[in-house]
C-alpha cells in the first residue's frame, strides 16, 4: 500500500493521472481513501453481495471489490436503454458503466452546449429523452410547457431532503414555494472570470476591474461567453444592477458597455479554454469547472468571483414528461442520489455537490479548493439566474445587436 502522504498537489496529480487513464480508478480511490469511504457508506446502507466493479481488470486492492452501492428497485422492468441528455465531460463513464452492470440498462448520453438548445429540442418534441440535466432557471419554462414530470418521490428512496442545501434545490420546486419537486441536484457552481496571473497584474476582484481592464491594458486578449444570460448579466454588474435585470434603462447601459467592449475582445465564445491555454487570451469569463481544469493545467491561471456579485447556479437531474423509459429514468436518478455514487462522479467532473453526505465523502483537497468551494462572503452577493432572464425578448435582441455590431 502507498504510504506517501496525500498532499493537495499529489491529489490533483493522481486525479489528473486517473483522468488521463494512467492509473486505474481503483488505484486512485485506494490512494485517496475515497474508495474506503465509499465502501463503508455502502456497507452501512446494507449493500447487496459484492459484484465485480467497473474496474474489474485492476488488481484487487486492500479495500476489496467495491460493494454494490445501490440496488435496483425490485419487481420493476427497467428495459434496456436510457437516454440521458446532459453536457460534455459532465459524467464519469465508470458511473454509467456501473449502472449498466447493476441494471442491464445502457445509458445513451447526448450532449448539448446550452440550456436553450436543450429546451428548443425538447419543446420541438419527439426527442425520446428520458433524463435531463437542466440548470436552475429553466424550471419555470419547462414546467409551464409541461416538458418535465413532477418527481414521484416514492421512486427515489435514496434521496434525502434533510441532506440538501435548500438554496440550491429551491428552483426545482414548481410553482415556487410549493412542495412539488421537478428535479434533484446534480451539483452547483459559479460564474466568474479566469485571469492568467503571469500577464495580468494588479488586484482583480470585481466585474468593474474585468470590464475596465478589458478596454485598456488587456485589449484584444479577453473573451466573454457567447451567452446572453451571463454576458449581459455581468455587464449589468458593472453598474451595480441586478444580474437578472430586464429593466429597459438598465439594459440600455449594459448594451452601451458591451458595444464599447466588443472591439477589445479576442472572442465571444463559451470555448475559452484553448485561447487561455495558448495565450491568445489572458482573461476570460468562466464557469467553475473550466476554472478548475485551467488552474490544474496552468497553476498561474486564477479564478475571480466579482465582489459586486454575479451568478450562482445549480444543475439538476429531471425526468422528461414524455420519457419512453420512465422506470429506468427514475432508477438512474435514484442511483445518482446515492452519496458514494455522486462523490465518485464528482471526482471526475470537478463540481461541488449539494448533498451533505456526498460532500462528506469528498477528499479535503477537493473540499478546500477555493475555486470549487469559494469563501461564503463571495457567494453571498451572487444571484441565481431567473427564468425571465432566459426568456426575455429584449435581452435576446440586445445580444443579437451586440453580436452583429
Partner 1 sequence: MVQGPAAVAAPGRGRGRAVTALLLTPTSLWYLLLLLVPLAILIVFSFGERSPVGGYHPGLTLENYLRLPTRQAAFVNTLVLAVASTALCALLGYPLAYYLATRAGSRRTLLLILIALPFLTSFLIRTYAWFTILGANGIPAILGALGVSPRPVLLNTHFAILIGIVYNYLPLMVFPLYVSLERLDKRLLEASKDLGAGRWATFRQVTLPLSAPGLISGALLVFIPMMGEYIIPNMLGGGKVFFVGNALVDLFLQSRNWPFGSAAAIGLIMVVLITVSIYLFLTSRGRVQREVSQL
Partner 2 sequence: MARSTALAPAPERRAAATAAAGARPPTDRATRVVGAVFRGHSALIYLFLYVPIALVILFSFNAGDFAGELRGLSLRWYGEAFGDRFVMKALQTSLIVAFASATLATAFGTIAALALQRVPPALRAVYDGLTYIAIVIPGIVIGIASLVFFVNAFDWFNPLVGSLWPGSLGEAPVLNLGIPTVIGAHVLFTMAIVIVLVRARLAGMDRTLVEASYDLFATPWRTFIQVTLPQLAPAMLAGYLLSFVFSFDEYVIASFVKGQDTTLPILVFSQIHRPPVTPKINAIGTVILTISLSALFIVQLIYRRQTRQARALAEAAAAAEA
Q: Which residues bind partner 2 (CB under 8 A)?
A: 20-21, 83, 85, 87-89, 93, 108-113, 124-129, 270-271, 273-274, 277-278, 290, 293, 297, 324
- Phi/psi for 319 (5° steps) reads -105, 125
For residue 156, give every residue at least 6 positions away whose Cβ sits within 8 Å of its Cβ, in sequence order, or none. 184, 330, 333, 334, 337
- Residue among 140 and 350 whose Cβ is closer to partner 1: 140
Residue 100 buriedness (CB in 10 A; 0-12 / 13-18 / 19+): middle
- Residue among 159 and 399 whose Cβ is closer to partner 1: 399
Is residue 69 a contact point for partner 1 (CB under 8 A)? no
Contact between residue 84 and residue 107 where contact means Cβ atoms under 8 Å apart: yes
CB of residue 325 to partner 2, shortest distance in Å: 10
- Residue among 63 and 196 whose Cβ is closer to partner 2: 196
DSSP string, 90-128: -S-HHHHHHHHHHH-PEEEEEE-S-HHHHHHHHHH----
Set of cell numbers at residue 202: 494588479
CB of residue 130 to partner 2, shortest distance in Å: 9
Residue 267 binds which entry of partner 1, partner 2, none, CB below 5-8 Å type-dependent: partner 1
CB of residue 87 to partner 1, shortest distance in Å: 15
Is residue 259 a contact point for partner 1 (CB under 8 A)? no
Is residue 198 a contact point for partner 1 (CB under 8 A)? no
For residue 146, give every residue at least 6 positions away whose Cβ sits within 8 Å of its Cβ, in sequence order, or none. 321
Altogether, the residues listed in the chain come to a count of 405
CA 155, CA 139: separation in Å to the nearest integer? 21
CA 196, CA 69: separation in Å to the nearest integer? 41
Judged by CB under 8 A, the stretch of 13-21, 60-68, 141-149, 374-382 that binds partner 1 is 141-149
Among 129, 266, 332, 348, binds partner 1 (CB under 8 A): 266
Residue 126 binds which entry of partner 2, partner 1, none, CB below 5-8 Å type-dependent: partner 2
Q: Which of residues 226-255 bind partner 1 (CB under 8 A)?
A: 226, 228
CA 397, CA 293: separation in Å to the nearest integer? 33
Is residue 190 a contact point for partner 1 (CB under 8 A)? no
Judged by CB under 8 A, the stretch of 22-30, 72-80, 116-124, 332-340 that binds partner 1 is 116-124
- Residue among 85 and 288 whose Cβ is closer to partner 2: 85
Give me the torsion for CA of 228, 231, 232, 236, rounded to 10°.
160
Contact between residue 320 and residue 149 where contact means Cβ atoms under 8 Å apart: yes
Contact between residue 47 and residue 65 where contact means Cβ atoms under 8 Å apart: no
Is residue 278 a contact point for partner 1 (CB under 8 A)? yes
Among 64, 274, 299, 370, binds partner 1 (CB under 8 A): 274
**Taking the CB of residue 163, how many other CB atoms lie within 10 A of it?**
15
CB of residue 121 to partner 2, shortest distance in Å: 8
Is residue 145 a contact point for partner 1 (CB under 8 A)? yes
Residue 279 binds which entry of partner 2, partner 1, none, CB below 5-8 Å type-dependent: partner 1
CB of residue 282 to partner 1, shortest distance in Å: 10
Q: Which of residues 3-62 bind partner 1 (CB under 8 A)?
A: none
Query: Checking phi first, is residue 128 left (phi over 0); if not, alpha (psi -120 to 50) or beta?
Result: left
Among 95, 141, 185, 244, binds partner 1 (CB under 8 A): 141
Set of cell numbers at residue 392: 426575455
Question: Which parts of this chain interact with partner 1 (CB under 8 A)?
Answer: 114, 116-117, 119-120, 123, 141, 144-145, 220, 223, 226, 228, 262, 265-269, 274-275, 278-280, 391, 393, 396-397, 399-401, 403-405
Amino acid at each position: 500500500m502507498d504510504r506517501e502522504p496525500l498532499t493537495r498537489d499529489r491529489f490533483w496529480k493522481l486525479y489528473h493521472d486517473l483522468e488521463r487513464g494512467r492509473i486505474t480508478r481503483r488505484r486512485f480511490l485506494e490512494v485517496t481513501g475515497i474508495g474506503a469511504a465509499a465502501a463503508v457508506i455502502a456497507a452501512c446502507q446494507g449493500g447487496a453481495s459484492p459484484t465485480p466493479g467497473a474496474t474489474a481488470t485492476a488488481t484487487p486492492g486492500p479495500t476489496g471489490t467495491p460493494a454494490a452501492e445501490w440496488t435496483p428497485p425490485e419487481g420493476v422492468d427497467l428495459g434496456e436503454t436510457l437516454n440521458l441528455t446532459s453536457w460534455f465531460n459532465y459524467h464519469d463513464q465508470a458511473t454509467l458503466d456501473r449502472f449498466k452492470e447493476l441494471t442491464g440498462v445502457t445509458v445513451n448520453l447526448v450532449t448539448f452546449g446550452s440550456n436553450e438548445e436543450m429546451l428548443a429540442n425538447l419543446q420541438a418534441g419527439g426527442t425520446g429523452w428520458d433524463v435531463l440535466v437542466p440548470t436552475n432557471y429553466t424550471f419555470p419554462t419547462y414546467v409551464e410547457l409541461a416538458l418535465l414530470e413532477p418527481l414521484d418521490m416514492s421512486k427515489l428512496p435514496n434521496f434525502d431532503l434533510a441532506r440538501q442545501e435548500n438554496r440550491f434545490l429551491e428552483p426545482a420546486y414548481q410553482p415556487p414555494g410549493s412542495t412539488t419537486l421537478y428535479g434533484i441536484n446534480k451539483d452547483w457552481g459559479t460564474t466568474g472570470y479566469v485571469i492568467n496571473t503571469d500577464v495580468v497584474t494588479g488586484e482583480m476582484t470585481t466585474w468593474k476591474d474585468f470590464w475596465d481592464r478589458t478596454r485598456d491594458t488587456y485589449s484584444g486578449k479577453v473573451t466573454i461567453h457567447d451567452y446572453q444570460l451571463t454576458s449581459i448579466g455581468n455587464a449589468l454588474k458593472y453598474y451595480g444592477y441586478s444580474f437578472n435585470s430586464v429593466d429597459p434603462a438598465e439594459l440600455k447601459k449594459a448594451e452601451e458597455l458591451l458595444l464599447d467592449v466588443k472591439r477589445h475582445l479576442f472572442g465571444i465564445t463559451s470555448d475559452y479554454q484553448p485561447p487561455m491555454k495558448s495565450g491568445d487570451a489572458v482573461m476570460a469569463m468562466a464557469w467553475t469547472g473550466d476554472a478548475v481544469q485551467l488552474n490544474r493545467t496552468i497553476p498561474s491561471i486564477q479564478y475571480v468571483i466579482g465582489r459586486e456579485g454575479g451568478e450562482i447556479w445549480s444543475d439538476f437531474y429531471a425526468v422528461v414528461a414524455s420519457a419512453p423509459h420512465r422506470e429506468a429514468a427514475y432508477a438512474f436518478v435514484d442511483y445518482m442520489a446515492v452519496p458514494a455514487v455522486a462523490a465518485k462522479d464528482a471526482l471526475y467532473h470537478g463540481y461541488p455537490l449539494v448533498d451533505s453526505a456526498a460532500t462528506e465523502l469528498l477528499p479535503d483537497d477537493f473540499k478546500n479548493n477555493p475555486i470549487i468551494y469559494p469563501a461564503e462572503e463571495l457567494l453571498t452577493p451572487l444571484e441565481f439566474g431567473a427564468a425571465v432572464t432566459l426568456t426575455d425578448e429584449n435581452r435576446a435582441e440586445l445580444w443579437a445587436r451586440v453580436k452583429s455590431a
